[in-house]
Structure 1
Amino acid sequence: MKPMLFFITFCLTVFSQLVCLADSEADQPEVAEKSQPASEPEKQPAKRLFGKSETISYRDKVVVIKVGKEDLIYEQRYKFIRRSLRKAEEDGAAAVVFDINTPGGLAWETTEFMMQDLAKTKLKTIAYVNPSAVSAGAMICMGCDVIYMAPASAIGAAAVVSSRGEMGDTERAKAESYLIAAVEGVAEAKGHNPELARAMMKVEYIYEEGSIFVDSDELLTLNAQQAVREVDGKPLLAAGIIDSLDEVIATEGLADKEVVDAAPEGMVKIALWISGISGLLIMIGLGAAYLEMKTPGFGIGGAISLFAFGLFFFGNNLAGNLAGYGALTVFVIGIILIIFELFIAPGLIIPGLVGGCMVLGSIFYAMIDDVSLEDFKGRDKDAVMDFSPFESAIFQLSIGVIGSLVILALLMRFLPQMPLFNRMVMDGKLGKGDGTDDRVERSKRIGMVGVASTDLRPAGKAVFDGETLDVTAKEVFVAEGTSVTITAESGMGLEVEISKD
């Protein structure tokens, strides 16, 4: 009965998540109140995972993507920016404006964004430095068609640094060689001077243009006045100094277009955070599921497991990852096979093995985002296979599996002493009797022979010398009435096996 309740509860949890997703409109961008021209029909909204549709189209609108202080630091926020640009192109937006105020972020991800998205997009891309575009922010500006500066603003200082500490000479040279070449190529394709990109990224590079001089121990950073200074009849880098984002849009001849803010709102912010802790949710879900299977008559482990995995699929789906119908179906089938192996036909091995692979495989697939998948598909097939787009999913799954094993070890060690859980296991010490106590000491229990009074799946009850005890069978399943022998007593209770005689 308990496995059936576990499975039913799981299905109800999944169903409730589907209903919540179907009804949620939390990820819709804010739209200015301007009418859509009747002559241009709206593109049909794309169908989202779990059957959810995006009701807002970017067709013929100006899409504003804010790049704030933390947007280039966290991978999930970074992918949201890339996903927003791709949606704008798919829907047929009029233009995309990056409203930038950032101290920098992830260098490799920024380069990937420039090469895979900014360099390939057919949309007009506009960067507004408002007021700071440092490091990765400067690189994004170089990937846009046109750059504008706020009155008091600065752009530059894009040297490669490592969060792991000081980089060695060879490591730095390798990273700089690739990143600088990539940024220079995109900048030149967008009509910007590639020498500016190199001067911003490489310390040893000497740059001089009029009164602007960067020595070999410095990095180039331009203020607004320097960025718009004319050189050979055209601005050095930026097209002009403009007071506000609205004026930028008007200057580009887009004042009559509807403006959409593509920044994540409401539940999407929460979902991005949830997807970032997927490893922790997997760890809790797997650890709690094992606790549920090993403890008779107590459902808190199953409830925690269901909540963790429900939150895992909900967050990853809403964050734009591939946690859709397919991944969820494979996960549920895997759970069914594991239950079949443990409680209906124990000993077959194959259903449990296949079910475990399906569960872990679906969890891994659910954490892959559509942006990384498209990057992977778009790589040169003749090149060496590069699985870097899946590094995040591999890392999160590794944290979850290894962490769940650590939780299991801790539970086995400390569970009997925890106030909330100590009723779930047998106390290893018996109180002192007066000689008439019919219970035996722990050391004398090993080897006792009794009869299973319930089916052991693998947990259940057995009778020894007239006393009913909670036990766990090594054979995973033992039928009621079978003779069993106590072989060990651990923090999780008494362990038994089928008697050989």
Structure 2
Amino acid sequence: MRALLLLLLTALFCIAEEVPEQTVMGKSEEMSLTGKVVVLPVGQDDLVNKQAFRFWHRMLERAMDEKARAVVLELDTPGGLAFDTRDIITDDFGKLDIPLIAWVKREALSAGALIAFSSDRIYMAPDSTIGSAGLINGTGQEIEKVMRAKLESAFEASMRAVVEKKGHRMDVLRAMMFVDEENEQQFGSVTVRKGGLLNLTASEAIEEVDGKPLLAAGIAGTLEEVLEIEGLEGVEVIRPEPTGFEKFAWWVASISPLLIALGIGTAYFELKAPGFGLFGFISLGVFGLFFFGNNIAGNLAGYELMAIFVVGIVLIILEIFVIPGGIVGIIGALMSVGSLWFAMADRVDFSRIDEGGSIVSNLGDVLIGPALGLALGILGAIGLMLLFMRYLPDLPLFRGLVAKEALASGQGGESTKSLVGLIAVALTDLRPTGTILIEGMKKDAISKHGLIEKDSEVRVLKEGMTFEVERVDEGLA
């Protein structure tokens, strides 16, 4: 039964991996972008949402493939993830072969300013601002001096090719990104004091210096005004949204700790109710959903980690039923838990662990979030086990199913009398759990006082899903 469940779990994941990308991402169900203006809002929280970057990447590829007229980035953001922003700028915005227009609706700060510089033309709403693109670490703190120099140099090099291609002023971007502790800087009517970063209002951004605007091509109060200036009035505008499938996958990834708790908890009860099946199928579905959702959401969940997880479960089952001793079970548990841990790590972040610092430190940053999710999942599983052990045996449905299973075993009906105090025989080692034989019936049992060897006589102390027993000679002492 359990072997079948493991095979089904593997098959489920393999089917999910083999679904063509167009179908998985819902491309065939989405409206065509051909000849249309594609508007991608970049809102307050979008640049800290990795799923937003993946969605933008897909939409930009579609915009090029389907020959959209233009892409407009509607910016209202305080900033966000520096490396993800750099990647989408160099890998997507910088290579776009259709017009890319940035409209600063209210603010484009930090990473938002970098995105604006990657567009062909920038327009700003009357009261909007742009700038303050200095790098900080993930906690909002200052970066150590040498590390800052390395990061700033790398970011400048990445941005320089894109900014020069788009025709923007690199000196303006540098003043937004890099602090000059020794000199004041002048950009038109704007003075950047020592130790400060450049910020521009809409009116300042359109000032001409040496016959060229500092930054913005013009001021536009609405998106319609932007399109009119660009000669795109009358062109159909579309605001794509993630497909239902994408939203579902992202939601699954967000509840990974809950799925781990349910998967471990139901697997435990499958082991405690041999032949019952319901808990095993629930665990199968939950772990299949966990790996499938995290894979589609862009995390490391894939064939390799799935295989490690399955092998780990097989080793745990071998430890329980075939080769008890501890070592095999420990290895299996480490493999299974480790695969769940790494499955929640972001694939892109993991590929960048050798950038901008020590590999150990960067790896820790990538895995700390998944570690927290794993810990919450394990704690939840323990809580679920305790609740089920306390309340599940009293549920009418569960009692009925157990009774039917017992009758189907061919050993006759179970006695309704209490078995507490009766003598049984250990059919397996109790380490501390195992199986006992009492009045012709096999029962799951747990030893009250450590190891009890196979064939030992035991006394029943408590009844339930799992009987609590002690060695007979211990009870007489």
- What SS is found at the alignment partner of 1:100? strand
CA 1:177–1:360: 2 relative to 1, 3 Å = same
Partner of 1:196: 172
The percentage of counterpart residues that share the same residue type is: 35
From 127, 136, 146, the counterpart of 1:161: 136
Letter in 1 for 2:246: V
Partner of 2:188: 210
CA 1:345–1:180: 2 relative to 1, 3 Å = closer
Q: Give deviations 1:371-427, integer Å, cap 9, x for gaps.
A: 679x77xx99xx999799988875565445545554566567x45874346889xxx
Letter in 1 for 2:250: L
Question: Which stretches in structure 2 are left out of the alignment for 5+ residues?
Answer: 399-417, 448-453, 472-477
Q: TM-score when scaled to structure 2?
A: 0.69
Query: For the residues of structure 2 that align with 1:408 and 1:487, how far apart are their CA atoms?
Result: 30
Query: For the residues of structure 1 that align with 2:419 and 2:269, how far apart are their CA atoms?
Result: 31
Q: Give deviations 1:197-225, integer Å, cap 9, x for gaps.
A: 22223344632123211212433221111
Q: Which moved more, 1:234-243 or 1:83-92?
A: 83-92
Matching of residue 152 in structure 1 with residue 127 in structure 2: yes
- What SS is found at the alignment partner of 2:48? coil
Partner of 1:483: 455
From 82, 105, 113, the counterpart of 1:107: 82
Query: For the residues of structure 2 that align with 1:52 and 1:340, how far apart are their CA atoms?
Result: 36
- What SS is found at the alignment partner of 2:106? strand
CA 1:344–1:257: 2 relative to 1, 3 Å = farther
CA RMSD across the alignment: 5.3
Letter in 2 for 1:471: A
Query: For the residues of structure 2 that align with 1:488 and 1:194, how far apart are their CA atoms?
Result: 81
Partner of 1:262: 240
- What SS is found at the alignment partner of 1:99? strand
Query: For the residues of structure 2 that align with 1:328 and 1:438, how far apart are their CA atoms?
Result: 45
Letter in 2 for 1:483: D
Partner of 1:95: 70
User: In the TM superposition, what is the alpha-carbon distance from 1:154 to its structure 2 partner?
Assistant: 1.3
Matches within 5 A, 1:154-303: 154-164=129-139, 166-167=141-142, 169-170=144-145, 173-174=148-149, 177-178=152-153, 181-182=156-157, 185=160, 186-204=162-180, 206-255=184-233, 258-264=236-242, 266-296=244-274, 301-302=279-280
Q: Give deviations 1:320-360, integer Å, cap 9, x for gaps.
A: 66868x57985897599569847986679999999889967
Partner of 1:36: none
Partner of 2:112: 137
Contact 1:462-1:471 within 8 A present in 2 as well: no
Q: Give deviations 1:208-260, integer Å, cap 9, x for gaps.
A: 12321121243322111111111121211011112322332343344575543
User: In the TM superposition, what is the alpha-carbon distance from 1:71 to its structure 2 partner?
Assistant: 0.5
Query: For the residues of structure 1 that align with 2:8 and 2:265, how far apart are their CA atoms?
Result: 18
User: In the TM superposition, what is the alpha-carbon distance from 1:151 to its structure 2 partner?
Assistant: 2.5
CA 1:183–1:415: 2 relative to 1, 3 Å = same
Q: TM-score when scaled to structure 1?
A: 0.66
- What SS is found at the alignment partner of 2:90? helix
Question: Which stretches in structure 1 are left out of the alignment for 5+ residues?
Answer: 23-46, 425-436, 474-481
Query: For the residues of structure 2 that align with 1:351 and 1:123, how far apart are their CA atoms?
Result: 58
User: In the TM superposition, what is the alpha-carbon distance from 1:306 to its structure 2 partner?
Assistant: 3.6
- What SS is found at the alignment partner of 2:176? helix
Q: Which moved more, 1:135-144 or 1:109-118?
A: 109-118
Query: For the residues of structure 1 that align with 2:336 and 2:61, how far apart are their CA atoms?
Result: 31
Q: Give deviations 1:435-478, integer Å, cap 9, x for gaps.
A: xx9844xxxx9xx761549xx9x8554228x89753269xxxxx
Partner of 1:470: 444
Query: For the residues of structure 2 that align with 1:417 and 1:290, how far apart are their CA atoms?
Result: 11
CA 1:485–1:244: 2 relative to 1, 3 Å = farther
- What SS is found at the alignment partner of 1:419? helix
Matches within 5 A, 1:6-85: 14=12, 47-48=20-21, 54-55=27-28, 56=30, 57-85=32-60
Query: For the residues of structure 2 that align with 1:319 and 1:162, how far apart are their CA atoms?
Result: 24
Contact 2:38-2:240 within 8 A present in 1 as well: yes
Q: Which moved more, 1:203-212 or 1:396-405?
A: 396-405
User: In the TM superposition, what is the alpha-carbon distance from 1:138 to its structure 2 partner?
Assistant: 0.9
Contact 2:295-2:301 within 8 A present in 1 as well: yes
Contact 2:137-2:143 within 8 A present in 1 as well: no
Letter in 2 for 1:223: T
User: In the TM superposition, what is the alpha-carbon distance from 1:103 to its structure 2 partner?
Assistant: 1.7
User: In the TM superposition, what is the alpha-carbon distance from 1:150 to its structure 2 partner?
Assistant: 1.7
From 289, 294, 305, the counterpart of 2:283: 305
Contact 2:188-2:208 within 8 A present in 1 as well: no
Query: For the residues of structure 2 that align with 1:65 and 1:111, how far apart are their CA atoms?
Result: 17
Q: Give deviations 1:145-167, integer Å, cap 9, x for gaps.
A: 21111232111122333453543
Contact 1:201-1:219 within 8 A present in 2 as well: yes
Matches within 5 A, 1:285-364: 285-296=263-274, 301-302=279-280, 304-316=282-294, 319=297, 330=307, 337=314, 341=318
Aligned length: 439
